[in-house]
Structure 1
Amino acid sequence: MTDQNRKILVLGALSAMARESARVQAGKGASLYLVGRDGEALRAEADDLRVRGAGTVDTLAMDLTDTIQTDTILANASAALGGLDTILLFYGVLGDQAGAETDPGEAARIMDVTYTSAAQWVLAGARHLEAGAKSRGVLMTASSVAGDRGRRSNFVYGSAKAGLSVLMQGLAHKWGGLDDAPRAVNLKLGFVDTPMTSDVEKGGPLWASPEDIAAIVDRAIEKSGPTVYAPWFWRFIMLAVRATPHFIFKRVNL
């Protein structure tokens, strides 16, 4: 399968990383189906992608936490694109950790957006790719290094991303034992300069741009293992974080 043949569904298509990833794929001639909440913004993004060289570009405005018709939407996307072999899930919400600890509604919002609904889309996407026996099919999620170890600053969000990562690990294990199966790829993102991190102080070598992540996504679509730290050095940072004994870790303000 060449890049020009890729038929890509982007869930959370208006996030900064999703936009840049779609633009890279459009430049290779891929066809795309964009799903997000703002219909006008989606249409503008679709026009931009066509100019960049995309094939078919269709859009759907919806709240992705509404997971009642996931299978129908996937079938519609496949019909619009003339097939569907790549699914990119790029949405979630960091939320307010302090608020989540005291307000059940805020905790539920973080968990529903970041894990519960995302998990439903992952499972629906897996069903679709399995039914099509897409040996080069790819299901990719944007998770986070926050799920590697609970930290006082964001453990509600981190727990949701940890759940998503384990779901993808299990799917990768299932498909890894089958012939002619798709690939499940889970990106574990470090610090990325996006609107979601607008309230976080930025700067330094640990911060990546959406363009950096889009390049990683591009490589992972074609070839990667089931877990991709993005950028790569976070694998070693989180190895150290996980290995730190609790009696030391509890004194670290992270």
Structure 2
Amino acid sequence: MKGTAKTLLMIGATSDIGRATAIVYAEAGWAIHLAGRARAAVQREADDIAARTGAAVTVHELDILETARFEAFLGAVSPLPDTVVCVVGELGEQSRAEQELEYAAMVMRTNFEGPALLLGLMAERFAARGSGTIVGTSSVAGDRGRASNYVYGAAKAGLTAFLSGLRNRLSRSGVRVLTVKPGFVRTRMTDGVKLPPLLTAEPQEVAQKIFATAEGGSRSDVVYVRGVWRPLMTIIRSIPESIFKRLRL
């Protein structure tokens, strides 16, 4: 293994963005903890990343909905990582979420409750040590509720607010909290969705942005992976509600 002895905890390791991010960190010489719901799938990713990069990679099983197991999970992650990146998400189907209470709850818990509670626990460990970087992936969908995905968007808005409050509380503790908003990303989650090229990133692009911002000296707190999203969402947020509710978005 090359480079430093720093360690990354990757939550959501079998996702396209999770895999790409883990590879970027591993290529930079970091040791990697991979965490995901299906242990066999996580192990396959670990074996591939280790073979590609020579990094030390460990495997951990984690279901983001099983919040009662978070303490035991974090206790098994050793050493305490320098950086944790959480890319867990579930886009879901808006129409189904409107009709099925349990399904809507799953989408909300996957995108907000689970990631927020887990990152909150990690933040306490980082604060006790006096250092660490937390990267949570939210979404532009959380910047304003839209009819087409407001269940998902509401959960991401909650995560954005949680990360903002966590960042404010820990600003003098030596712990950095970063919110990343990828926008559209060409992944398995968006397979079959027609995506606008100008607004659509690749998983590797998201991974490079996360690494460059979290580890490259940038002091940005909220990052839109493609810069065009920032002015676009500023415009969308500024539309009066009386007009916005008539739009088909």
Q: Is the TM value for this pair above 0.5?
A: yes
In the other structure, the counterpart of 1:113 is 110
Instruction: Work out the CA distance in 2 between the residues paired with 1:241 and 1:160.
Output: 19
Matched residue type, 2:194: E
Matched residue type, 2:139: S
Instruction: Work out the CA distance in 2 between the residues paired with 1:239 and 1:71.
Output: 38
Contact kept, 8 Å, 2:62 with 2:73, in 1: the verdict is: no
How far residue 155 of structure 1 moved from its aligned partner, in angstroms, is 0.5
In the other structure, the counterpart of 1:215 is 208
Instruction: Work out the CA distance in 2 between the residues paired with 1:52 and 1:4.
Output: 17
Matched residue type, 1:88: V
SS of 1:64 mapped into structure 2:
coil
Instruction: Work out the CA distance in 2 between the residues paired with 1:159 and 1:48.
Output: 35
TM superposition score normalised by structure 2: 0.93
TM superposition score normalised by structure 1: 0.92
Matched residue type, 1:173: N
Within the candidate set 89, 94, 98, 1:97 is matched to: 94
How far residue 54 of structure 1 moved from its aligned partner, in angstroms, is 4.6
Gaps of at least 5 residues in structure 2 are none
Contact kept, 8 Å, 2:27 with 2:55, in 1: the verdict is: no
Gaps of at least 5 residues in structure 1 are none
- Quote the sequence identity (%): 34
Question: Is 2:121 the counterpart of 1:124?
Answer: yes
Instruction: Work out the CA distance in 1 between the residues paired with 2:196 and 2:237.
Output: 24
SS of 2:170 mapped into structure 1:
helix
Give the ranges of 4+ consecutive aligned residues of structure 1 lying more than 3 Å apart after TM superposition: none
Equivalent residues in 2 for 1:48-87, closer than 5 Å = 48-77=48-77, 79=78, 82-87=79-84
How far residue 92 of structure 1 moved from its aligned partner, in angstroms, is 1.2
SS of 1:4 mapped into structure 2:
coil
Q: How many residues get paired? A: 246
Equivalent residues in 2 for 1:180-199, closer than 5 Å = 181-199=174-192
Within the candidate set 150, 156, 162, 1:155 is matched to: 150
Higher mean alpha-carbon deviation, 7-16 vs 67-76, is at 67-76
Matched residue type, 2:167: A
Within the candidate set 71, 88, 102, 2:85 is matched to: 88
